[in-house]
Structure 1
Amino acid sequence: MSRRQTLRAGALAALGVALSACSTQDSGRPARDGGTTSAGGWRMPDEAHPHELTYMSWPTRQIWKSDIHGVREDIARIARTIAEFEPVVLLADDREVKAARKACGSGVEVVPIAVDDLWMRDIGPTFVLGPDGIAGVDLNFNGWGDKQAHGRDSQVAEAILDDEHISRIKAPIIGEGGSIEVDGRGTLLATESSLVNGNRNPGKSRDDIEQALRALFGVTAVIWVDGVKGKDITDYHIDGLARFSEPGVVVMSTPDEEAPRDVWTDAFDQARKVLDRAVDARGERLEVVELPEPVDIGRRGDGFLASYVNYYVVNGAVIAPGFGDRKADSDAASILRDLYPGRKVVQLPVDTLGEGGGSIHCSTQQLPRPAGQALGQGRGR
């Protein structure tokens, strides 16, 4: 159990979010909420696709308790840094708006939308592009399988889409944005542990879930790795393990050769074997690039996420964690510069966020820019 899960053990949700009754096969049929019942014709772009803006969320004292000051410093630091490259919209409770604006500065737009926690990758909509512009997939966030209270977070995806006047696609499965990774060209990576799991999708097989993923995100190839159930609050999201830097290239968070054997090193070994023999939607083998994990980071909690792979790609830059291991931090920055030529690599200390079991990618969600279209319908942007 990660520290984040332990901290929140006393605030578990009593109820999850029910599975949608709609089917992803009912292509384009209008839904009661004004969106659609399927993702027919939609596709999820890769993260390097140009962004309109980045969404983030302001952490609450009810969740973070004694760690609230440290984690707010981390979130404000991330928001201010991203704002140097693209607009940032940060959600905060009404009573926290003033504090969030003061911490983040005038370059970050703070909007009053109620939240429980900061993990925007999981609670926000996952955006897809198509012939009709843009839509948002609502993955029915249920507190990572009812591990954490989520009464407000379960409504965040819909609130954002309503605010921006973007069509909502209600998924027929339960999941989180951090549980999927796409190359933007038809290939999706996922851990079975975080989706083929009774705490999200009881009674659904891997094939059922894969069918939904294909329709929702416009992919034709889904590559599954085992992951790990029940050892962290997310049941091991893919965005802490493996990411696409471009179609055909996967970068993996790689344990040190002398790291003790445990469920995490076993999960890496299994995933590496799968990816070494996998082919993408184009029928081509994947190139796997290792991104070594830091070693010299001092004493950390059991749930600390020491993964450089949880970086975030923005317009013109890559925002990555730094852990204070000078050699490992330097090596990671060098690898990321090679993977993303032409983008500035910025490393940030996010120690409190890491103790919560997440990092920069987990706390952000991109709004992609539709080709040939301008957004700005929500608040006059």
Structure 2
Amino acid sequence: MNDHTAGRHARSGLNRRGFLAAAGFAAVGAAVATTAPGWAGTAGPAGTFAVPAEDGRHTRTWMAWPDRTAIWGRDLSGVQADIALIARTIARYEPVVMCANSAGVAKARSMCGSAVTVIGSIPVDDCWMRDTGPVFRTDGSGGLDAVGLNFNGWGGKQAHAKDALVAERIAAYAGVPFTYADLVGEGGAVEQDGAGTLMATRSSLVNGNRNPGMSQSALEAALCDAYGATEVIWFDGVKGQDITDDHVDATSRFLAPGGALVQMPLASDTDAFAKDARRQYQVLSTSKAATGAAMTVAKLQGPDYDRIRSANQNFLAAYANYYVCNGAVISAQFGDTSADRAAKATLARLYPGRVIEQLAIDSLGTGGGGIHCVTQQQPAV
């Protein structure tokens, strides 16, 4: 259940975890967590820790195995098949480590195959590793550490006792130093270009369900400290219509320092998320990167929801929620044949030299998430 926002359609106001909660599957989480003890990092020149761009070399990809019927309903076969497909596909390009509850290890190994490493020592509540996992940073000199974003179940919307500990436990497993950021958030709420610029939605982070009483300027300072950045491009976002309060990574992504893409809705789409996507494009088109360069923004056309396979009112069809791994871009296809083909061609143009994999992951889409939502990269150093 992770984050998304950008490609949502106009058929319904409920999205993402909003879907699961409305269906009665999602358990209400604990009250909004207070921020864990933070650290006093400062963004700076080479030699300080910063989160690199996602398209850099990875040591491995981290994922999580869903097995809770209280969240997904009694039939877990669809979401588990999607997670296994994503893991097997990424494993053709780089190592994958799947965190599973002890009772789910055998099933995960059976479905994921021998190319995926499944471990039972890091228990999980759900599969949204982008939000629960650590944010890894490098220092340009062979150093690696990790930051936790104090995951609180997307503002106390879902039980998360295990997921709240995933970031710290993965860092310990990987043997890297770990600290907590001075804010509450999720990895899907923040995009980084690896060169000092971040983008995020106010609806997700400047929100009392995560950071009560914290101003945008204070949040910006905390984000820059955590990510080793100096500039944040803010979008208004959409509050309260999906469990993530409109994560940025289903709509807007960095391509390079000074370059980004936005998934655009059809001209006829008038729902809140379509309007938000258009505003994100406008904001990015008039923004500058931390380097001072004007942003160049590409468009990634979203599908026609009347032509995709799923008729579910809450389906998320976000091509932009792709994952960049070693040598490949792992994206989704939704059954709108012409739009799927065009999205693949656009990604091939934007990521020359990489294989573009398009996967059918309709169960994840019904749950309101996508491929980026369920993956977390560990960068090579």
TM-score (normalised: structure 1):
0.91
Partner of 1:284: 293
Partner of 2:380: 369
Structure 2 stretches of 5 or more lacking a match? 1-13
Give the Cα–Cα distance (whole angstroms) in 1 for the partners of residues 310 and 354 of structure 2.
32
| Counterpart residue type for residue 49 of structure 2 | W
Partner of 1:110: 118
| Counterpart residue type for residue 176 of structure 1 | E
| Counterpart residue type for residue 179 of structure 2 | I
Q: How does 1:99-138 map to 2 (within 5 A)?
A: 99-112=107-120, 113-130=122-139, 131=141, 133-138=143-148
1:66 aligned counterpart, secondary structure: coil
Q: 1:124 to 1:291 in 2, by over 3 A?
A: same
Instruction: Say if 2:176 is the partner of 1:166.
Output: yes
Indicate conservation of the 8 Å contact 1:90/1:110, yes or no.
yes
Give the Cα–Cα distance (whole angstroms) in 2 for the partners of residues 170 and 178 of structure 1.
17
| Counterpart residue type for residue 178 of structure 1 | G
Identity across aligned pairs (percent)? Answer: 46
Structure 1 stretches (4+) deviating beyond 3 angstroms?
Answer: 7-10
Structure 1 stretches of 5 or more lacking a match? 28-39, 371-381
Indicate conservation of the 8 Å contact 2:42/2:224, yes or no.
no
Indicate conservation of the 8 Å contact 1:67/1:352, yes or no.
no
Q: How does 1:57-96 map to 2 (within 5 A)?
A: 57-62=64-69, 63-96=71-104
Give the Cα–Cα distance (whole angstroms) in 1 for the partners of residues 171 and 40 of structure 2.
19
Indicate conservation of the 8 Å contact 1:252/1:290, yes or no.
yes
Instruction: Say if 2:362 is the partner of 1:351.
Output: yes
Q: 1:135 to 1:8 in 2, by over 3 A?
A: farther
1:84 aligned counterpart, secondary structure: coil
Q: How does 1:208-223 map to 2 (within 5 A)?
A: 208-223=218-233
Partner of 1:196: 206
Give the Cα–Cα distance (whole angstroms) in 2 for the partners of residues 148 and 118 of structure 1.
13
Q: Which moved more, 1:109-118 or 1:131-140?
A: 131-140
Give the Cα–Cα distance (whole angstroms) in 1 for the partners of residues 312 and 219 of structure 2.
33
| Counterpart residue type for residue 317 of structure 2 | A
Shift of 1:359: 0.3
| Counterpart residue type for residue 286 of structure 2 | R
- The one of the two structures with greater contact order (alpha-carbon pairs below 8 A, sep at least 6) is 2
Q: How does 1:303-322 map to 2 (within 5 A)?
A: 303-322=314-333
2:221 aligned counterpart, secondary structure: helix
Give the Cα–Cα distance (whole angstroms) in 1 for the partners of residues 75 and 336 of structure 2.
23
Instruction: Say if 2:310 is the partner of 1:294.
Output: no
2:86 aligned counterpart, secondary structure: helix
Q: 1:132 to 1:343 in 2, by over 3 A?
A: closer
Give the Cα–Cα distance (whole angstroms) in 2 for the partners of residues 263 and 26 of structure 1.
36
Give the Cα–Cα distance (whole angstroms) in 1 for the partners of residues 25 and 214 of structure 2.
27
Give the Cα–Cα distance (whole angstroms) in 2 for the partners of residues 217 and 26 of structure 1.
9
Q: Which moved more, 1:65-74 or 1:170-179?
A: 65-74
Match of 1:175 among 180, 185, 189: 185
Partner of 1:153: 163
Partner of 2:279: 270
Give the Cα–Cα distance (whole angstroms) in 1 for the partners of residues 107 and 332 of structure 2.
24
Indicate conservation of the 8 Å contact 1:188/1:223, yes or no.
yes
| Counterpart residue type for residue 49 of structure 1 | G
| Counterpart residue type for residue 51 of structure 1 | H
Shift of 1:8: 5.2
1:175 aligned counterpart, secondary structure: coil
Give the Cα–Cα distance (whole angstroms) in 1 for the partners of residues 42 and 332 of structure 2.
41
Give the Cα–Cα distance (whole angstroms) in 1 for the partners of residues 38 and 299 of structure 2.
40
Give the Cα–Cα distance (whole angstroms) in 1 for the partners of residues 333 and 96 of structure 2.
21
TM-score (normalised: structure 2):
0.91
Partner of 1:378: none
Give the Cα–Cα distance (whole angstroms) in 1 for the partners of residues 158 and 23 of structure 2.
10
Indicate conservation of the 8 Å contact 1:8/1:148, yes or no.
no
The number of equivalent residue pairs is 357
Indicate conservation of the 8 Å contact 2:124/2:163, yes or no.
yes
| Counterpart residue type for residue 277 of structure 1 | T
Shift of 1:199: 0.3
